[in-house]
Amino acid sequence: MTELNELDDLYQEIILDHYRNPRNQQVVEAPDMQAHALNPFCGDEVDLQARLEDGRICEVCFKGRGCSISQASASIMTELLKGKTPEEALELYSAFRRLMFGEDISEEELDGMGELGALAGVRKFPVRIKCALLGWNSLDDAIGEYAKANE
Ligand code: ZN
């Protein structure tokens, strides 16, 4: 993919590592939250499942296919979600969206993003932003459904 070649070497490495060895592939038994997201633009798909314990995400997995950016972003996301409340997860999503769209984020938010920072260069390629946000769209849906079901 040409876009990927234009990113810094270190960032490319992080993205390709997650793409080739996606984290958190084990099925979550009895998930509390799940959602499927599709990016018709390049055929990327992400299925996300998570289980909560004491209001925090304790187990999370995803299955997906598609381009390296969509799959790496989903893989990094699953690593960041463990231990977070749904509210904290949505705050992280908000910060990541702002990073992708070149809007303001605080130093603290950037720190909390860890390897997601590797995807910052993707914002130079607007059509790829959808790929980077795909897993997060599934998270947003999963949390929305969960909140509705538990009102
Ligand atoms: Zn894609």
Please tell me the distance between residue 65's alpha carbon and the centre of ligand 1 in angstroms.
9
**Along the 151 residues of the chain, how does pLDDT read in single tens digits?**
567 778 888 899 999 999 999 999 999 999 999 999 999 989 999 999 999 999 999 999 999 999 999 999 999 999 999 999 999 999 999 999 999 999 999 999 999 999 999 999 999 999 999 999 999 999 999 999 999 998 8
pLDDT of residue 2: 61
> What pLDDT does residue 92 have?
97
Nearest-10 crossing angle of helices 126-149, 68-81 = 40
Instruction: Give the full edge-to-edge strand order of the sheet including 56-65.
Output: 33-39, 44-53, 56-65
For tokens 């459904």, what's the residue? Answer: 145
Rounded to the nearest angstrom, the distance between the alpha carbon of 41 and the centre of ligand 1 is: 7
What is the whole-number distance in angstroms between the Cα of residue 120 and the centre of ligand 1? 15
Nearest-angstrom CA–CA distance, 132 and 72: 8
Give distance in angstroms: CA of 35 to centre of ligand 1.
Answer: 18
